[in-house]
């Protein structure tokens, strides 16, 4: 990858364990880091974010090479991995920390995010109106180290085996067929 031309994107689509694991498998993604954005407390902890009182969302910050994977392809993966019609939840994960949100850095990115939402909504992948927030990026706080690569380190943990694992298998099948995954 050409490190001089790497870009970043930050978004939340429910529990970051699944989102981070999947994005780290994609060609063109240098890193996907679990963390927190959108809140009012500096350097929040996982326990604080889980209360919903800090205003943060669980997010993943992705560093990628746009010559290998486009913003639009990342958005397609993002909308594949979570249900953007669920307000402040993903399945049984309930709270504002699980909201669907795209953080943009400038007006160009804001327009691209809004267009990605319209494109995905028009595709009919999810029935209902999208509730994905498009919010100005302010700060990313990396989650605690034990959250990084959590699924890979804990695949038999009950939540991972029941929720994350099946989602990752569906992701691998779909995006593997499209030739978008790194070799294992």
Q: Tell me, what's the pLDDT at 93?
A: 93
28 lies in a domain? yes
Task: Specify whether 160 is catalytic.
Answer: no
Report the CATH number at residue 118. Answer: 3.30.1060.10
Q: Tell me, what's the pLDDT at 2?
A: 62
- What's the burial of 46, exposed, middle or buried (CB within 10 Å: 0-12/13-18/19+)? middle
Q: pLDDT tens per residue, the chain (184 residues)?
A: 667 899 999 999 999 998 999 999 999 999 999 999 999 999 999 999 999 999 999 999 999 999 999 999 999 999 999 999 999 999 889 999 999 999 999 999 999 999 999 999 999 999 999 999 999 999 999 999 999 999 999 999 999 999 999 999 999 999 999 999 998 7
Domain residues for 147? 7-177
Q: Tell me, what's the pLDDT at 77?
A: 97
| Contact by Cβ (8 Å): 153, 136 | no
**Distance, CA of 100 to CA of 102 (rounded, Å):** 7
Enter the pTM of the model.
0.95
DSSP 40-73: SSSS--HHHHHTT-S--EEEEEEEE-TTTS-HHH
96 lies in a domain? yes
Q: Tell me, what's the pLDDT at 184?
A: 77
**Distance, CA of 75 to CA of 183 (rounded, Å):** 22
**Distance, CA of 65 to CA of 58 (rounded, Å):** 23
2 lies in a domain? no
| Structural domain count, the chain | 1
30 lies in a domain? yes
1 lies in a domain? no
183 lies in a domain? no
182 lies in a domain? no
**Distance, CA of 103 to CA of 128 (rounded, Å):** 22
129 lies in a domain? yes
């Amino acid at each position: 990858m050409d490190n001089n031309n790497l870009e970043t994107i930050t978004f939340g689509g429910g529990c970051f364990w699944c989102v981070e694991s999947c994005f780290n498998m994609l060609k063109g993604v240098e890193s996907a880091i679990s963390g927190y954005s959108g809140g009012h407390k500096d350097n929040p902890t996982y326990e604080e974010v889980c209360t919903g009182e800090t205003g943060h969302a669980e997010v993943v910050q992705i560093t990628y090479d746009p010559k290998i994977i486009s913003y639009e392809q990342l958005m397609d993966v993002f909308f594949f991995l979570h249900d953007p019609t669920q307000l402040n939840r993903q399945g049984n994960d309930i709270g504002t920390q699980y909201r669907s949100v795209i953080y943009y850095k400038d007006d160009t990115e804001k327009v691209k995010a809004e267009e990605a939402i319209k494109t995905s909504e028009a595709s009919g992948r999810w029935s209902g109106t999208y509730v994905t927030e498009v919010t100005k990026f302010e700060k990313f706080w990396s989650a605690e180290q034990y959250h990084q690569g959590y699924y890979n380190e804990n695949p038999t943990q009950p939540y991972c085996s029941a929720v994350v694992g099946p989602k990752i298998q569906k992701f691998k099948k779909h995006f593997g067929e499209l030739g978008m995954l790194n070799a294992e």
